[in-house]
Structure 1
Amino acid sequence: MSEIRMETVSGRWILLATVLGSGIAGIDATVVNVALPTIGADLGTDFAALQWMVTGYTLTLASFILLGGSLGDRFGRRRIFIVGVIWFAVASLLCGLAPNAGLLIAARALQGIGGALLTPGSLAIIQASFAGEDRARAIGAWSGLGGVATAIGPFLGGWLVESVSWRWIFLINVPIAAAVVRIASRHVPETRDTDATGRLDVAGAILGALALAGMTYALIEAPTQGIGSPTVLASGVLGLAAAVTFLVVEWRSEHPMLPLRIFANRQFSAANAVTFLIYAVFGGIFFLLVVHLQVVAGFSPVASGTAMLPITALMLVLSPRAGALSSRIGPRIPMAVGPLLCAVALVLMLRIGPEASYLLDVLPPVIVLGLSLLVAPLTSTALSSVPEHQAGLASGVNNAVARAAGLIAIAVLPAAAGLTGDAYGNPLQFEAGFGTACVIGAVALVFGGLLAAITIRNPAVADSGHPAHCAVDGPPAAPGAIQQAHRQAGGR
C-alpha cells in the first residue's frame, strides 16, 4: 500500500484525478434534470420518456456499484477506475449524438455502468494511496471538491442548454474524461486488495439489475399502458421473481455481493430504512422541482439550475457540524428532527406557482432543505453501527439503498401525483401534480422522522484509530457526510 502525503505533487495529482472522475459522474446525475423540458420538446417525447432518461442512469448505477467496488479490489482500483472513465466518456458521446429518446435512454443506461465502475474506485484509490494520517484530510478534500463540482453542474447545464445545445451537457464529458485518463495513467499508483478471495457475484449483480429494471418499467409504464397491459404485467412479474431469486442467491452464496446477514444488525437496518425514505423523497422532489420551475414558474434553464445551489452550499458548510452534533448527542434526535424540517420545506414549496419570486417563494424552502440535520448522521450511523472491517460494505450498501430509493421514487411519485403523458407541457396540470407530490413527500418525511425516533439508538462509538477501507462512496447527496462517516468508522 502506498504512503503518499497530501502536500506532495503526487498527492495533488491523485486528488485531481479522483475528484474529476467522480465529478463527471456526480454532475451528470443532476445536470440532466435541468435539460429535461428542452430535451422533451426537441425529441418530441412524453413524460415517461423523461423519467427513463433519469432512471436509466440510476438503474444501472445502483445495480452495479457494489460489483464495481469488488472489481477494483480484485483487478486493480486504478485499472477499473480508468475503464469506468473511458466507458462513461463513450456513453456520454452516444448520449450527445442520440437522434431519438430510445437511443438516449439506452446510452444513459450505459453511462450508469461507467459510473458504477469509476465511482467506487475514486474513493478507494484515496483510501489505499494516502498515508494513514492524511486519509481523512484527503477524503474531506475529495468530498468538498466533489460537492462543488455537483453544485456547478446545474448552472453549467443550464448555460449549455440556453447558449449552445442540450447535447453539450453530455459531450463536455469527453474532453474531461480524456484528461482524467491521462492523469490517472501517469500519476495514480495501482492498488488492490490482496485478501480478496472467491468468485465475483456476477449472478447477484445481474439479478439485482433485472429486479430493479422490471419493477421500474412496470411502475413507469402502468399509468400510460394500463396496469393490465401484458407488457406491464410481465415486467412486474419478472422484477418480483428476480428480486426473490436475488435474495435466495445472496443468502446461499459464499461470497455474496450483498451479505444479507449484515441486516441482522438492527441499528444498520434502521438507518437504511430511514435512508430509503429520505432519499426517495429527495430523489422524486428534486426531479420534479427543476422541471416545475421551468414549466410553471417560467424560470430559464440557468435560473432553475442555480435555484438549487443554496442546498449544496449549506450541505457543504453544515454537514460536518451536523456530524459533530450527532457525535455529541447521538444520531437519534438529528435523524428524527431532520425529516420534519424537510417536510416543512415541502409544504413551503406549495407556494411556488406561476411567476413565483425566487427570493420569496423558492429560496425559503430551499434554505430549510439545505439546513437539514439528517444527511451526515444517516451516513455515519450506517457505518458506525457495524464492525470496522465491514465499514466498506456498510457504506456501499447505504449508497446503493439511497440510489435505489431515488430510482423507485422517480418511477412512482409522478404517477401518484397524476403527472403522466404530456404533463410537462401543461403548466396547470404540472402545478397541481407537483403540489400533490409535495404533500406525499411531506407525509413520507414525517413517517421517516417517526421511524428514526422509534428505531435509532444512541450507541457509544469507540474510535479504534485505524482507517476503515471503504470501496464505495456514501449517499449521493451527502458530500460533507463522507468525511464524518470515515472519522466515526476509524479513518482519522
Structure 2
Amino acid sequence: MIKGKHYEKFLIITIGISVFAGVMSTSMITIAFPDLVFDFKIDYSTLQIRNILFFSFFAAGLPLFGSIADRVGPKKLVQFGLTLFILSNIVSGFSINWAIFLVAQSLQAISDSMIVPALVLLIRQSFKDEKIGWAFGWFSATLASATLIGPALGGGIVEYTSWRYIFLALTLFSLVSLMLGTLILPKDGKRNRNKQIPFMNTVSLVLFLCFFQFSLVASSSIFLTVSLVVALLSLSMLLFLETRNKVNKIFPAGAFNNKIFVVSLIRVFLLFLVSNAMILIIPSLMRDHFGLSPDVIGLIIIIESIIAISLAGFAGKLADLNALKTMTFGFIPILSGLVLLQLTSNININPIILFVLFFLCIGLGSTFASPALNKIAMLSVPKEETGSYMGLFQMIQFGTGAFASGIIGLLVSGGTSTLEIRELRSVFGVAIFLIISAVLTTMVDKRFLKIQKS
C-alpha cells in the first residue's frame, strides 16, 4: 500500500475509481435507450422492465452487502464486485435477445450493490470525522469524472458504432479499477464472521421492489393483480423475518429510532427520486422531441460533471464547516433548474440553451448537496455499523430509480416509442414539489440539533 504526503487524496481517488465504470454505465446506457428499443423490438414501457430490475436488485443488495462489508471487510467485497461487474458487461454486450440482456443487467446491478457500500465503509474507516466532508467531496469529484467521460463517450459510441461497444468500454475501465484497488486500497482488518447472512430477507425485499414496480407498468388487470399480490406477500415475509430474529437482519436494529438518520432517509428519497427521474427521461426527451443527436446530448450532459470536478473539493470543505447550510444551499439551484424546465415547456426556445442551463443548475446543486447529505447521515450512525446503516441509506437513495421507472412507465403505458414533453409536464411539477419538501426537512435537523446542544 502506497504511503506519502498526498496519500489521503490518492486513496480517495482510488476509492472513487472503484465505482468509476458503474457510474459511467448509467449515463452511457440511457443515451442508448432508443437504440435498445429498436434492436430488441420493444417499446418504452417494456424498456422500463430493465430499469425496474436493475434498480430493484441494486437497491435490495445495498443493505445486504453493507452488512457483509462490516463482517468480511470492504476490500474483498470491492474486488469480488468488480469481477462480477466485468462478467456481466461481457454478457450484456453479447446479448442476442431481451431476456438475456435483462439477466446480464441484473447481475451488473448486484455487482454495483457490492461495491458501493464497501466504498462508503472504506471512507469511514480511512478518514477522521472532521475530514469526512472533504473525502466525500473528492469522492464526488472522481465520480463526476466518470459522468464527464460517460455521456461523451457513450454518445460517440452510439452515434458512430453500436451500443454494444459501450460494454466493451465499461469492461476496460473496470479492469483498471480492479488492478488499482488491489494495489492501493487498505487491507481488511479483523472482522466478525460468525453472524448469519440474511439472504431470505434480501430475496423478500427484491421480490417486493420488483413486483411493486411491475404493478405500476401493468398493461392488464390480471398482471396488476398478480404483481400486487406477490408484492404484498413478499413484504409480509420481509417484515416477519426482520422482526422474528434480532440478529439475522438486513436493516440495523436501531436505525428507525435514530431521528437524524430517519430524516436523512426521507430527504435522500425525495432528492434522488427527482434526480433518477430526470436521468431516465431527459436524454430520451432530448432525442425524441428536440431532435438532438447522441453526441450532442453527451456534450451537454458533461456540463454537470465539469461543475462537480471544479467545485467538489470546495463543497466538501464547506460541508465540514456547516453541513446543514451547505446542503440547503445545494437544493436552491436544483429547484431553479426544474422550474426552468417547467416554465419553458410551452415556449419555443433553443433546446441547446435550455438544457445547458438545466444541467448547469443540476450540477451546481448536486455538487454542494451531495457531500453534506452523506456526512450528516454517516456521522449520525454508530461507527462499527457504518456499512449496515449506510447500506440502508443507499438502498433508499438508489432504490428511487425503480420508483422513477414505474412512474415513467405509467406515463408511456400506451405503448408509444417516443417521449413528448407534454407527457412530462406533470412530472416536472411533482419534482418541484418534492425538492421543496426536501428543503423543509432541514428544519427538522435544526430542531434536533438544538435539542442535543441544550
* Aligned mates of 1:103, 1:76 — CA distance in 2: 32
* Aligned mates of 1:328, 1:131 — CA distance in 2: 14
Selected match of 1:250 from 199, 217, 242:
242
Q: Which residue of 1 aligns with 2:273?
A: 280
* Aligned mates of 2:369, 2:183 — CA distance in 1: 39
Matched-pair contact (CA < 8 Å) for 1:250–1:259: no
* Aligned mates of 2:7, 2:370 — CA distance in 1: 33
Shift of 1:421: 4.2
* Aligned mates of 1:145, 1:22 — CA distance in 2: 9
Shift of 1:181: 3.9
Matched-pair contact (CA < 8 Å) for 2:31–2:283: yes
* Aligned mates of 1:442, 1:132 — CA distance in 2: 33
Q: Which residue of 1 aligns with 2:391?
A: 396
Q: How is 1:21-420 mapped onto 2 (pairs within 5 angstroms)? A: 21-125=18-122, 141-185=138-182, 190-195=187-192, 197-220=194-217, 222=218, 225-226=219-220, 228-229=221-222, 231-255=223-247, 256-319=249-312, 321-322=314-315, 324-325=317-318, 331=324, 338-339=330-331, 341-350=333-342, 351=344, 357-358=350-351, 360-372=353-365, 373-415=368-410, 418-420=411-413
AA aligned opposite 1:420: S
* 1:232-279 deviation per Cα after TM superposition (whole angstroms, max 9, x unaligned): 212222112222332332233333221243111222111211211111
* 1:86-105 deviation per Cα after TM superposition (whole angstroms, max 9, x unaligned): 21111111111112222212
Matched-pair contact (CA < 8 Å) for 2:251–2:389: no
SS at match of 2:19: helix
RMSD between superposed Cα atoms in Å: 3.4
* Aligned mates of 2:73, 2:12 — CA distance in 1: 18
SS at match of 2:251: coil
Q: 1:120 to 1:395 in 2, by over 3 A?
A: closer
* Aligned mates of 1:327, 1:10 — CA distance in 2: 16
TM-score (norm. length: structure 1): 0.80
SS at match of 2:424: helix
Q: 1:337 to 1:233 in 2, by over 3 A?
A: farther
TM-score (norm. length: structure 2): 0.86
* 1:176-202 deviation per Cα after TM superposition (whole angstroms, max 9, x unaligned): 333444454566554144245421122
Segment drifting more, 153-162 vs 256-265: 256-265
5+ unaligned residues in a row in structure 2: which ranges? none
5+ unaligned residues in a row in structure 1: which ranges? 463-492
* Aligned mates of 1:446, 1:132 — CA distance in 2: 29
* Aligned mates of 2:253, 2:406 — CA distance in 1: 26
* Aligned mates of 1:325, 1:455 — CA distance in 2: 18
* Aligned mates of 2:257, 2:105 — CA distance in 1: 35
Number of paired residues?
Answer: 448
Shift of 1:441: 1.3
* Aligned mates of 2:68, 2:167 — CA distance in 1: 26
Q: Which has the bigger relative contact order, CA under 8 A and spacing at least 6?
A: 2
* Aligned mates of 1:450, 1:137 — CA distance in 2: 25
* Aligned mates of 2:75, 2:450 — CA distance in 1: 36
Shift of 1:46: 0.8
* Aligned mates of 1:187, 1:285 — CA distance in 2: 35
Shift of 1:317: 4.1
Shift of 1:129: 6.9
Q: % of aligned pairs identical?
A: 20
AA aligned opposite 2:97: N
Q: Which residue of 2 aligns with 1:487?
A: none
Matched-pair contact (CA < 8 Å) for 2:134–2:317: no
* Aligned mates of 2:382, 2:127 — CA distance in 1: 23
Matched-pair contact (CA < 8 Å) for 2:23–2:147: yes
